[in-house]
Every structure is written in C-alpha cells, then in structure tokens.
Structure 1
Amino acid sequence: MTDGQLYPNILLGGRGGTNPGQLKVHPGGIAWRKQGGGKIIEIEKADIARVTWMKVPRAYQLGVRLKDGLFYKFIGFREQDVSNLTNYIQKNIGVAAEEKQLSTSGHNWGEIDINGNMLTFLVGSKQAFEVSLADVAQTQLQGKTDVYMEFHVDDTTGATEKDSLMDISFHIPTSNTQFSGDENRPPAQVFLDKIVSLTDVGSSEEAVVTFEGIAILTPRGRYSVELHFSFLRLQGLANDFKIQYSSVVRLFLLPKSNQHTFVIITLDPPIRKGQTLYPHIVIQFEADNVVDRDLALSEELLTTRYKDKLESSYKGLIHEVFTKVLRGLSGAKVTRPGSFRSCQDGYAVKSSLKAEDGLLYPLEKGFFFLPKPPTLILHDEIDFVEFERHGTGGSSVASHYFDLLVKLKNDQEHLFRNIQRNEYNHLIEFIKAKGMKILNLTDAQTTNGVATALQDDDDAVDPHLERIKNAAGDESDEEDEDFVAEKDDSGSPTDDSGNEESDASESGGEKKSSTKESKKEAAGVKVPSAKGKTRDADEESSKKRKPKKKKDPNAPKRAMSGFMFFSNAERDNLKKGNPGMSFTDVGRALGERWKKMIAEEKEPYESMAKADTKRYREAMADYKSSAPMDVDPGDDSD
C-alpha cells in the first residue's frame, strides 16, 4: 500500500522488553515490522476493537486492543503525532482513540480490570501497571486472602533486558465487592477462578506430547522435545531450553534428501546459549520414520479451544506429526517448498556460505540457507542480486561453478558460493519471476555475460597453479592420476607442491652426497660402502632418478589429477573463509573434503583430469615427432 502514515523508530512493548521497528497505519489496518527483519505484526481493520493513547516516560504509547482479546503496545510517538494519527485512525479505520492516564502516585491499592488476556491494576481510574495473562505459568491461593501468580521464565528474553517479572501477589480482603463471594468461596477464590479460566495454568507440569531423541543441528545435540499448552521445552544432556509459543514466528518444513527432512522453528526473540543467539532451531528428522502419538488433551479442549486445530491422536511420518501438533498449539504458520526445482528436481541447490557448505532453498517469499549458519532472507529485504563467476583466476574448473551475491536494503551482503553451473538457468528464471532486481541481468544475457563465461571458459589458465608449479619445480612428466593422501600424511593431500617438494629434497640429497664423494676422491680417499647390496641399489636408484634432474623447457606441461583441479577451484574460497590458515592447513582441509566427496561430486574434476591427460598425450606425441634430435635428459655435463 502506498497510502498511509509511516512512523519509524516505534517500539513494540512485550514481556521480553521492547523491540525497535517501523509502524504503518493505512486504511486497511495497522502493520509493524521489526527493524532488521524478523517479526511482523499485521492488524486488520475489522479486528480492531479499541485504540488508546497514554503518556509514558519520554514518549507516547499507542495501545491497540483486538476483538479476540489480544493487546499490542506501540511506544515512541511524539506529541505532535497524537492528534494527526488520532484523526487518521478515526477517519480511515472508524475507531475513536481514547486517552488513558498513567498513575504516578505510587499507591499499591486499587481495582483490577480484566479485559481479554490483559490484567490492568488501576489506582483511582489511572493505570498503574498491566500484565498479560498468557504469560502466567501458575497461580494458587495463599491463605484466604492472597492470590499468588508466577510467570513463565524462558530462554527467549530480549538480549538487552537484564530483569524479568517472576511473580506477583494480590491481596484481596474478604470485604472486597468487585469479586464478591461467600463464607465457602471468599473473594480471593473468585478472583483465582477467574484467572484460571483465562490462562493455561496447570499445563506446565504435563506435556501434551513428547518426542524423544530428536537430532537438533542448532543448537547442536540430541534433545527430548516436549510440547506443552503454551510453550515447548528442549531437554538435552547439557542444555535445557524453554520457549514460549509467543516467540515462535514461523515453522519451515523443508526436505533435505531422501533420508532426512528439516523442520525449522524461527524465533523472535531468539534463545540464548552463553553469548550465542539462536534465532532458528534446526531439527533434522529421518524422512521415513513413522510414529503414532496420542495427545494428552481432554475432549472439552479438543471440541472448544483446539477445534479444527488438533486431533486426539496422530499417525504418520514423524516430521509431519511434529509440525501439525506444534502448529496447532502455537498457531504459527508453516512454510513448505514452493515452485522452485533444481536441475535434479530437488527443492534446493548446493552452495556454501562463509566457510560452511549447505543447501540454499529458494522459497516463495525468501531464501533459506541450511543447516549452518541458518540464514533466512526475505524477498522484501533484498535490494538486488548479482550473479558472479566463480573466482577470478581463470581456472578451467571455475567455469563449472558460479556465485550468487544477495545485497540487502540495509547494505548487508550474503555471498552464496560454489553453485553448480547447471543450476544457473533455474535460479535466474526463479529470481526474475519474483521480480527481484538483478544487477548484471543485461550482461548475463549477452554473449559476454555470466552464462557464456560459465560455458566457454574451459581453456583458461590458472595463474595460481602456474605459480605453484614454478615454485615447486615440475620434476616429472608422468601422469599424476593417483595423487591421493597416504597414511603418513594424516589422510590429507596438502598440495601439488608437497609432492614435488619430496622429489626435490631427494634430488638435493643426491647432489650433496655426490659432492662429498667427489671431494673425497679428489683427495685420494676411497669411500667404503657399508653394505654392498645397499650401495648397488642406491646407485641403481640414483641412475633412475638422474633423468629428472634436467627437464626440457619446451616439453608440454604434464596432466593434472582430479584432486588438483578440485584444489585449484576451492583454495581461494577456503582462504577467504579462514584468513589465518597456513598453506599446509589449507592443503590438509582440501584433502579431507576430497576424501568425503562421493563419486558424483568428484565426476566433474575427474572428467577434466581425463581430458587433460588426453591433451598431454597428444601434445607429447606431437612434440616428440617434431623433435629434431634426441636429447639425453640425464647428461649433466657441460
């Protein structure tokens, strides 16, 4: 909507403190969006029952009460905003805003007003404080005149809030006329029964349903997941999290593979573990696991409060059962894969974010990268996207991959790397269909664009590879197809230079040895051999290695292995994600990745290795046939 009034820097008040955001009042209702993305509150015009203004410290507060009892507090308006917004709301929404006053007397006696799910304590018709009954964990009668209320304390308290309301007691004397009773049922008992009828009191002890041994990727561990009436609990060996359903923004059900399915619980505010915040709980279920669960719900609750939301029992795939029950209890919406399909008819494309490999899910309203770090990007938050060639070195393997840069309106950037070339058309068509701005769309559609570069750059030279070869000294023209990690190399090939380095050190040892022998022979000293057979074997080995000492500079470059193509493609990415990584550690990490790759993932690199081997053999045959004379590579004499 283009028409309406927009107010930046408006705080949403709640149990976990205040959250900054942007409020828009338009003819269709009221909308508030959290700053930086996350929680969105949309209030339809027809759902608004009452609007109030209140002067609070340093600002004005707009209160919006809905017909179903919910109440929202928006804080941060200026004095001049009050009259303008009051007139606009009355004209376009049809509700007259009322003025409420805040009690500052400090008196702790007054009256209680219960409206919907809000309890307001009034002192002389002025509001002293108010609490949400949805936050009440339990309540009990103390004596005959006191009612004790305890509030939920979970792990999603706002990051900037150090204090939280734990409990409160109300003293209701027998002479109270607001909650009139009798000798057997005093006013305090009447008040208690009223609170119990409006809250989930008593639901904190018994779970509606429990799922044991669930694998959660963030925060990592195996947990027992308990779903209660108003909250869920994650109980692990080392951690225990309690999360109010009011903090659950959305649920995502995304197939990972034939074996597993992701269920993501998006929170606002997030849970905290030490100094780490977790806005997304990423759960991984086995895709073929069938369960049968009975819910601990009375028939009365099923037919009243949870009518058309929950059933008495469920049987089916565990991720479907879990999602249906959690949706019914929390009221959160569920997002599933949309229209996007990858080249293999999947719902996501393989990519990497920072130093982590994962899956990028293009959804109808956003992108979601999983599993680590779980990153949700809404389409509305995107300024533009840009397709980039993988790397800048010109390696032939670079043409098999590309990068996707997503620039947000708040200037934040996300770079998704190592996306396979055959996913390019699927992604660009999806992004164009969603109306997102593609920065280099014109270039991508020309002959010099990204698509052409991805297809026709197989003959480019990798200067990084040439630098490694020159530094190491290419000692051999033999093929290196079997270059894999040996046991003494900790299972990780470090680099092509490591292999060459060993050859160079052996040659250096021979030169030093022959120099010493020459000096001894020149001095008339005979060099004895400790073991005749060993000396003979060393001499034979020395003769075999002598041809490597002199290399024909005009000979074609030898063929590279599949692992070397993989190393050259991934080395720069690994260094960017880990700037302090040493050369040896980079090689070791690449070797570990190579060993974990399946045959299908290695196939592009092995194909390039075979093509390079064919190239080398043909080039070598042409070179030998055109050679004017035989060269003795083992002759070191002048």
Structure 2
Amino acid sequence: MERTAVDFDKIYLNLSKLSGKMRIADIGLGWKASTGGNVGNNGKNTGKELFLLPKEDLLATLWSRGSRGYELRVQTRTRGVIMMDGFEVEDFNRLKQEMQRFFDLTLDHKEHSLRGWNWGKPDWARNELLFQVGNKPLFEIPYKEIGNTNLTGKNEVAIEFNLDSGKAGDELIEMRFYVPGTIENETKKKEEEDGETVKKEGGEGEEGEENEESKSTITTEEVGAATVFYENLRDKAEIGQVSGEAIVSFSDVLFLTPRGRYDIDMYPSSLRLRGKTYDYKIQYKQIERIFSIPKPDEAHHLIVLQIDPPLRQGQTKYPFLVLQFVSEEETEVELNVSDEVYESKYKEKLKKKYDSQTHLVMSHCFKGLTDRRLIVPGSFQSRFLQPGISCSLKASEGYLYPLDRCFLFVTKPTIYIPFSEISTVTMSRTGGGVGASRTFDLEISLRGSNQGHVFGSIDREEQETIEAYCESKGLRVRNEEKIAAAMMKKALAAEADDDEDVDMGSAGEDEAEDLDFQEGSDLDVAEEFDSNVSDTGSSDDDMSGDEKDEERPPKKKAKKD
C-alpha cells in the first residue's frame, strides 16, 4: 500500500540561495525550489531538473543545528553528504517518525562542541572529515567540497574548497591545519631470492636439498604527521585519483604561470597537474578559453588556458595557465582507450595516435576533451611577420597579440582584453630625446571604466600596422601624434594670418605718423621771435641776442598732450 508523501516548506538544499519544498515519499527524498529555477541531481541550481535522492542511496540521517535553524544531514552511498536546513525545532519529532516509517532509518540527534577550541582530532568518516573536540564534532568538511590540498610546510596542510555561485552569502575558500609531530610507520618488506638455491647440510652420504628461501623484514620509519594527514585527505577526497585510467599523459611540461614543471594526466572529465610541491585537479568545465600562439622569438610556442574559478596557491590566484614548448619538439602518444570506446566517444574529437610537434598534439587534445574553440593568431602580422609584438606593461616585459576578437598580453601578468570591452585605443609618444622617436605607447581604455592598460616601448615602425588593424576591427583609434601635428599646422596657419594683418596695420600707422609730423611742424612755428631764448651753442657766445635769433632757424614748440 502506497503511503502519502510528506512535505516540508522553506527548506534549503546544500546551503542554496533559494528555499524550496522537501518531500519524503516511498521512492526517496526530493527537493524543488519555490521560485527562480530548480536544482539538478548534483545539488546545484540548473533551472532544468529536480533534485532526487533514491531510497536505495540513503545510509544514515542526522539532526543538528544548521545555518538557518536546524539541519537534516543525510549520509549517502554515492553522493556524499546531502544537507537540508531551515527546519524548526518542533519538526524533529515529525521528521524522525517519517524517516523511520518510510526508510527504516533512525534520526540521530548530534550535538556540536561549543568550547571554541581550535585544536582537536580528525575523524575520517565515509563522506566527510569531522574535526572532533571532546568527542563532539566542532565542524564537518564534506570531501566533495574539497577542490585541492597541498602540503605547504613541514607541519602545515592547506585545503582549498570548490566555489559554488549557487550558495548564499560568503564562502570559505581555504583552510589550513597545523599538524605537529611524527608518526611511526611500520612496513613489512618481503625479499625473495629468485634463482638462488640454498643447500642444507645433511649427514654423510646425504645430498643437500635445494630449496628457495624467502626473507621477511619489518622496518619502522618516522613520518611527519602532516604528511600522513595530507595523504589521507588526498585519498578520501580523491584528489589526484580520478576514476579510470588517464586517456593521455604528458610529462615534465614547463609552466610559466604558475612557474614550475608539471606532469599532465587527461581524464574524460578533468585533468590533473602533478608537480613537486603542488597537485591540482581541474575540471574541463573550468576551462573557458584555449589560446595557441607562437612566441615572436621563433623558438617557442605557448598554450594559454583561461580558467574560472582560477587556480590558487595560498593567496595567489592564477586565472591563466601558460604552458611553453620548444617549437620543434615532437612527441608520439596513443590514447589509452579501447577501440570500442574510441569509436563511440572520441572518434570525432581526437586521433587514436599522435606523432607530431608537442604543442600541436596537446592543443588538439585540449580542444577535443574540453569542447572549446582553439584560438589561434589571426591576420595581424608585425614588420617581422610575427603575430605578436614586443612591449612592456609597467615593469613587465612581454608580448602583445592582436587577435581576431581580442588583445592578449603574455606572460606576467597575462591580460585578456576582448574588443567588445574596448572604448578607445590611443597611440602616443612619451618622454623626449632619441628614444621617444623610436617607440610609442598603446593605451587601451575600457568601456564604463576609468581603468585601462598602457603598453609601452613598442617599436615605432609597428604603429601604422597596429593602427590599420584596429581600424579594420571597428575600434575607435586616437593617434595623438597626428592630432598634435594637425593642431600645430592650424596654429601656424593662424599665426601667419595674424602676421599679415599686423604688417598691413603697421604700414598705415607709419603713414599717419608722417602726416602728423608734417602738419604739426607747420602749426608749431612761432609767429614772433622769442628774445628771451637762451643761447646753447659755444661758437655764438660773442654775438648779441638779436643777431643770434636772426641767424638760427625758428624753434619748434613742444607738443602738448
């Protein structure tokens, strides 16, 4: 006889932003968001599917305080821990009864430690790590929430968490454990002496018997407690252990960002980077873009992966992974899949065997497994017939690639600038002296922002090519040199016109001054001689006043203002 399903309203699934309705029925547990979309079977908001948990997958149920009231914590066989919170305290008895009635499971009440200690003991449960204080859990870390872990010091282990935009509020992204001390590890080693015979001595006339003898030894070694903690966590969270064999592997690949050499194992849905210090597991869905570009030095080739959320090493984030290869280096690999699997899954995406340049093989593998478009250089060519140009970004030297839909600067930092976000491209020359005439700066301004990027020390001979390329892509280009030259030409023309007007005005003024002088000289002649004017000439000292006045010309009167 089918039993009537039971519903609980305003319940949140795995710390989701949206509340919904949880239903308990004969077939299992279900949850559906009230508004704004639904949640898929992985517990994440997809807007397409409901979340369903079959009855056969339930292992145990626990009741405890949660982030929004009280929480039902469900331990499963294949899906880790499922958290449903938002219950009221009075829901406990009803929920306990329904769990027993539908699934024959006991709902245990679990109390957390409230001492506030930051030291305790780890408990490696089936689906989560429990941090115990006084035999009570202080907090739990589901293994499925762990994205990566690294041994960052002799006694320190770092745990990085997966980011989920569907969760409400701020998210914890990293936690570090200090694990002091050492642990004695006993290993039993069995040594077999293959191919050797040991003769046992017998009595006189007896022949020795030939036997194979084996030896067993037990060795004890001290291992750091942090190392043991780190290895246990890697095993439980399946970091570095992806189900199934790697489809293809590449060893000792040079990474410019983050710096180091890593082995790359490619699996059906993710890849693993294995280095000396750090190991990473990257889902293919994290890879947003793949760039395959040659370096202008003609000796190396770059593969750039843009990933979101970015890779993290401590406080440093790496949204771009930059791989460098020797251009002429070749590799020969074969996919580690059966012919049947290859024909059904990978025939249209990958080749069964590769024997070519390493960067070409890896680019094709990335493209086929991620289903992402491979971005390669477009029509732009520098004066050296290269797809990139040498330049500097602040104090960093690198290369700028004008691609079909974006600018890409490599390597540190790696900058991606899509054309759709560019407001203006400005070309200018800064400073003075000989160097300023040989290089120019390229400033890229972004839409709706006061920020931009200035790429300096670009060869002067590249300016015309870059300007023409930007104009062909519909970008607004502003050439300050041409603007300054036009303004100078306009200023010189205006100055020439002013000089011509000044010359014509000066000629008229001189003529007027001459006329004034002539007219003034006639009017200023005295009608009568002045007998009291003193004599200034030394040669006329013996002459009388009347004689002096008669012999010298008439004196002009001073002009009155």
Structure 1-normalised TM-score? Answer: 0.43
Structure label with greater radius of gyration: 2
> 1 or 2, which has the higher helix percentage?
1
Structure 2-normalised TM-score? Answer: 0.48
Greater relative contact order, per chain length (Cα 8 Å cut-off, separation 6+): 1
> 1 or 2, which has the higher strand percentage?
2
